[in-house]
Structure 1
């Protein structure tokens, strides 16, 4: 066989003519049945024709003929994975990695297989190994970032994706789609939109990219743009796969909910059903539609199914959350007793006006509404929700895990450096304006009061408060990105315990540190927006109140709001969320004894409408 013959076969493959390539290969193999190059090209041509079982036999033969070829073992692993033989595929990839440990490619495939098996922690380690072998390889970075997100390591994912503008243009359209999806996972929806718009400008018929863009448009409150993409896909009778049509209908259902048409949303969702066995998001959407229709039992049935499916996935990635002795709301935040606090040395620290304003509270208590009101004021500047104190704690833990057990060891230099790191992280999230005070809204920063107080002892806090039953119902209906919160929502009973645990910890910490706190009740805020806004302004020593009252117009001017309430805070304040739990009262009766200490402490009763 001549080099020209091999070149002719390769040209047929590159031109997308696998049948012609197959015929040429078989012609030459009749005289050279063991030729490695011919067998490889035959396997590739069969693979391209979706004739996977036949391709599998050829790839297997190549591993027998060339047992020390990492390439052949990697190809064999890929065809096995596509055929669903995951155990055999994993063994093939492991052999490929063993034969060529410096090659990132088989490690990437091995990592993707582990993701498919929901072994996210192992996948993250394998894919990070692949990244370390070739730090300039976008494919390794993108897949490693995806694995980091699945392990809730969003900071690691952001670092991996940071150079993405330098990778453009990506010749591989599917890789650019993967990059867009990874950026969406870390919450960079504007970048996701830009990447997908660019991809569709070059490949207008790329339906999967269009569907992803529609999701990003909805998330950016560009509802008409989202509908213009998915409506034709949902109506198409040809050229669209059933999974693509189903995804389009899911987006249309979300848009129907945004238009306050829950009947249409429910019709669409019941028509298409979940995308797959792991699609718990479908049931959260269905529950929202049923809730808006006033069908409480149907909503609760959908929610139970949503949490059942979500918890099954979480148990694979985070089994510790479901251990018998696990707290309802896990946290690694430090605890400080009063006697420990008395040993803290007095250190120089910023005054109140030079410290951030911290907006805290149990999730779904109205923190996003408060944040948007504050951000609308010209003297204040907020940023989207970020776990800065979790990250600062991680820095301390890596330096010496004992520090978090005794924060008194932090000296002036340490606190100064941690504050610098905090402001650097904030600066990465928002372009700071001069003469503004930072607003840090993260509901569960309430768990980090000891560390916040060590760095910003004069800071003011606004605690968002809402009827505990309304909070718990709203959380239970929410598809949280955080695995910790999702685990806490596995059942209404666990969620009630999580609320009491978090609030008890806050009250105990407040008793120790005596921070400056304003309690903002959601019920009072929606009843008297202007009066409550004036109260908040006085607390923060602000002269003007009017800008805070126009928060909804201010929010609509934002490109993106990275919280679950993104669709609500662009609307004026309304009373729709008050007392919603009463429609589900039979579900809450068993929870009232659990919640009784907090109901009593905050002056709520089981008979209050909200």
Structure 2
């Protein structure tokens, strides 16, 4: 500080002391604040300002500044004495007791005034503690008895009577959380933590409340804060996993659940949740092992039973599914919702659709995830029964519930749409012509990309091609997206950075792509696809069509298979199915946004077709199911692969393939059929709100836009 500034500070200080001495407290307060703004470590200023605040009745402010006074001027006994007196006046006897013990250790253990303050503080702390605990016990007893009104009133009374103690606030938070006042519970927990920042139970409860509110990021931070204090807590790792899981951070959630299980072997809830996240990540074998481990410890675990049933059913392991369902029925009972869902799914596979409908319509639950699964299952069952009104009613209900799950995970359609808009704005003939010349010779053949609007039949075609011994089809890989994200890290971002790529960068981006692709194959098949010239890799992800420009830039010899289906059937099917939450699928939560998304995707796709030189062949879903052999043979000619008789057995091959990660898993393990072709006509009335948007696309692709008469 300059001499002039020091002189100015001294003058301000003298003026503050004079105003304080004359009783001009507001003026003195303003001057003390000016001194502290310039000299925040001035212990004497903190001392004087703390005394002034106490005189003005601001006990909390006085405590804070006197605490700073003893921190910055610890050798000054008056600071300690004032700090102790103010703590006692504020009802914080335990804090005063601790402060006086520290002061006696610093000065003299025989100091009369400090010892007197310590005796007063200890006596008050003991009496307050006994009284406080008795009152807390009363509140807790009411809480445990289910009398939440009485419990909340008592906890509120405790917090008012002992405002400096954390206990009343912590109990108030728990009572409010139990009564559904989650926002108010968070406020109470934060009040408790402002008094006892390291209380693990309150931190855990706060994290759970934040998670319940969908504030997953805050919940994760709270659990991590608690784990910094107690890293060996299996419960905290488990709850951290739940928060991460809810936020869609599946790999981190998996790690947290594994840590919880390692710290507490036999932790059933953690094992079941581990199984759930492993299944979501595409590791059905490990998921099954986790669920079975949970059931060995608790055969009546609802989460483990329902998780195992899902793994087995989606893996098309029907004999084992029946065994697991029988065990679940034994331990959970005939009326358990997940048992009913398992019964309905088996009945549907056996063609007993009316029985499946009756079983599910007779079961309800307060579990929103079950009710969502039930709604979408009933939508499919009622569709098979040609009850279009009921099917749409169930689809509406399922999507309303799914919207809550998307919201809880913070999943929005906006980033995906923004990326599409950026590509639509950038891709012109002139811009593509301006690209730098860049190639990469990495010895890897360019894959085939199988694309199409969701629910257009890509999974069916993928399973057909995968039955060929020389074709290796990757189901729902994120390899191209990984490359797009890598481009986005370059100067200019995605897609602008595509224009100035050099050989080295193209090689790097292809390396990112193939690393993700190979990892996907290893996860799903146990090994990467062979790199021999005779092996053909098919990368199937429908909405890779939105990144067709990236395909051409990185894979200039890649062939693209465009799967086409009647626009009304695509949109209807997308709306009636339950997807794993992501930004693209968020568009299907409403019928109108589903149609708008179709329009947006197809406009971009046709724009790519105009400005790029990708070799594309179109396969119509309707041709595939009506003229299977001719359609597949023509596609194989495009791919340069000969016919193989094993293609006829694609349904059984798909069953042996294991988990299929799309809603089509049920259909593609059955022989090719035509019942899903043209079904939109039964829903013409329900599709009326989107007819104007979809009809032009139907005509553009050579389909009718009006249901057949008669």
For the aligned pair, the TM-score class normalised by the smaller chain equals 0.7 to 0.9
Asked if the contact 2:655/2:669 (under 8 Å) is kept, the reply is: yes
Aligned match of 2:700: 601
Aligned match of 2:306: 211
Question: Take 2:244 and 2:672, find their aligned partners in 1: how far apart are those partners?
Answer: 37
Aligned match of 2:78: none
Aligned match of 1:196: 291
Aligned match of 2:14: none
**Stretches of structure 2 lacking an aligned partner (at least 5 in a row):** 1-125, 522-526
Question: Take 1:587 and 1:283, find their aligned partners in 2: how far apart are those partners?
Answer: 17
Change beyond 3 A, Cα 1:65–1:126: same
Aligned match of 1:302: 394
Aligned match of 1:15: none
Asked if the contact 1:127/1:144 (under 8 Å) is kept, the reply is: yes
Change beyond 3 A, Cα 1:137–1:512: farther
Change beyond 3 A, Cα 1:313–1:208: closer
Aligned match of 2:583: 484
Greater mean alpha carbon deviation, residues 429-438 or residues 562-571? 429-438
Question: Take 1:377 and 1:44, find their aligned partners in 2: how far apart are those partners?
Answer: 69
Asked if the contact 1:397/1:403 (under 8 Å) is kept, the reply is: yes
TM-superposed CA distance for 1:593, in Å, is 2.8
Question: Take 1:317 and 1:297, find their aligned partners in 2: how far apart are those partners?
Answer: 31
Question: Take 2:511 and 2:223, find their aligned partners in 1: how far apart are those partners?
Answer: 32
Question: Take 1:388 and 1:107, find their aligned partners in 2: how far apart are those partners?
Answer: 39
Greater share of helix:
2
Secondary structure in 2 aligned to 1:520?
Answer: strand
Asked if the contact 1:284/1:479 (under 8 Å) is kept, the reply is: yes
Show CA shifts across 1:279-326 (max 9, x none): 3332222222221111112222222233334335545665965xxxx7
Question: Take 2:299 and 2:213, find their aligned partners in 1: how far apart are those partners?
Answer: 33
Show CA shifts across 1:455-500 (max 9, x none): 1121111111111111111112111223434432233333222112
Aligned match of 1:271: 362
For the pair 1:289 / 2:374, whether they are aligned, the reply is no
Name which of 457, 482, 487 aligns with 2:556: 457
Name which of 405, 415, 429 aligns with 2:496: 405
Describe how 1:515-534 pairs up with structure 2 within 5 A: 515-534=614-633
For the pair 1:175 / 2:270, whether they are aligned, the reply is yes
Asked if the contact 2:403/2:589 (under 8 Å) is kept, the reply is: yes
Question: Take 2:452 and 2:344, find their aligned partners in 1: how far apart are those partners?
Answer: 31
TM-superposed CA distance for 1:124, in Å, is 5.3
Secondary structure in 1 aligned to 2:563?
Answer: strand
**Stretches of structure 1 lacking an aligned partner (at least 5 in a row):** 1-30
TM-superposed CA distance for 1:579, in Å, is 1.2
Asked if the contact 1:308/1:490 (under 8 Å) is kept, the reply is: yes
Change beyond 3 A, Cα 1:187–1:97: farther
Secondary structure in 2 aligned to 1:84?
Answer: coil
Asked if the contact 1:296/1:583 (under 8 Å) is kept, the reply is: yes
Aligned match of 1:433: 529
Change beyond 3 A, Cα 1:585–1:524: same
TM-superposed CA distance for 1:43, in Å, is 8.9
Secondary structure in 1 aligned to 2:665?
Answer: coil
Change beyond 3 A, Cα 1:134–1:505: farther
Asked if the contact 2:412/2:583 (under 8 Å) is kept, the reply is: no
Question: Take 2:315 and 2:273, find their aligned partners in 1: how far apart are those partners?
Answer: 19
Asked if the contact 1:142/1:182 (under 8 Å) is kept, the reply is: no
Asked if the contact 1:149/1:186 (under 8 Å) is kept, the reply is: no
Change beyond 3 A, Cα 1:76–1:607: closer
Aligned match of 2:427: 337
Question: Take 1:357 and 1:104, find their aligned partners in 2: how far apart are those partners?
Answer: 53
Question: Take 1:605 and 1:274, find their aligned partners in 2: how far apart are those partners?
Answer: 42
Aligned match of 2:178: 82
Show CA shifts across 1:514-537 (max 9, x none): 211111111111122222222222
Secondary structure in 1 aligned to 2:419?
Answer: coil
Greater mean alpha carbon deviation, residues 400-409 or residues 66-75? 66-75
Greater mean alpha carbon deviation, residues 561-570 or residues 381-390? 381-390
Asked if the contact 1:161/1:183 (under 8 Å) is kept, the reply is: no
Secondary structure in 2 aligned to 1:481?
Answer: coil
For the pair 1:536 / 2:635, whether they are aligned, the reply is yes
Greater Rg over alpha carbons, structure:
2
TM-superposed CA distance for 1:444, in Å, is 0.5
Give the TM-score of the pair, scaled to structure 1.
Answer: 0.80
TM-superposed CA distance for 1:401, in Å, is 5.7
Show CA shifts across 1:397-436 (max 9, x none): 3555635334213322222112112222222221213233
Aligned match of 1:5: none
Secondary structure in 2 aligned to 1:489?
Answer: helix
Aligned match of 1:354: 445
Greater mean alpha carbon deviation, residues 50-59 or residues 288-297? 50-59
Change beyond 3 A, Cα 1:520–1:596: same
Asked if the contact 2:315/2:655 (under 8 Å) is kept, the reply is: no
Secondary structure in 1 aligned to 2:561?
Answer: strand
Describe how 1:109-508 pairs up with structure 2 within 5 A: 109-120=205-216, 122-123=218-219, 126=222, 143-144=239-240, 146-154=242-250, 160=255, 167=262, 170-230=265-325, 245-276=336-367, 279-311=371-403, 314=406, 321=413, 330-333=417-420, 334-335=422-423, 336-338=426-428, 339-349=430-440, 354-398=445-489, 400=491, 402-430=493-521, 431-434=527-530, 435=532, 436-508=535-607
Give the TM-score of the pair, scaled to structure 2.
Answer: 0.70
TM-superposed CA distance for 1:227, in Å, is 4.0
Secondary structure in 1 aligned to 2:495?
Answer: helix
Asked if the contact 1:579/1:609 (under 8 Å) is kept, the reply is: no
Question: Take 1:522 and 1:150, find their aligned partners in 2: how far apart are those partners?
Answer: 36
Asked if the contact 1:553/1:570 (under 8 Å) is kept, the reply is: yes
Aligned match of 2:187: 91
Q: Considering Cα pairs closer than 8 Å and 6+ residues apart, tell me whether 1 or 2 has the greater RCO.
A: 1
Asked if the contact 1:349/1:456 (under 8 Å) is kept, the reply is: no
Question: Take 2:442 and 2:637, find their aligned partners in 1: how far apart are those partners?
Answer: 17
Change beyond 3 A, Cα 1:423–1:69: farther
Change beyond 3 A, Cα 1:414–1:584: same
Asked if the contact 1:145/1:182 (under 8 Å) is kept, the reply is: no
Secondary structure in 1 aligned to 2:664?
Answer: coil
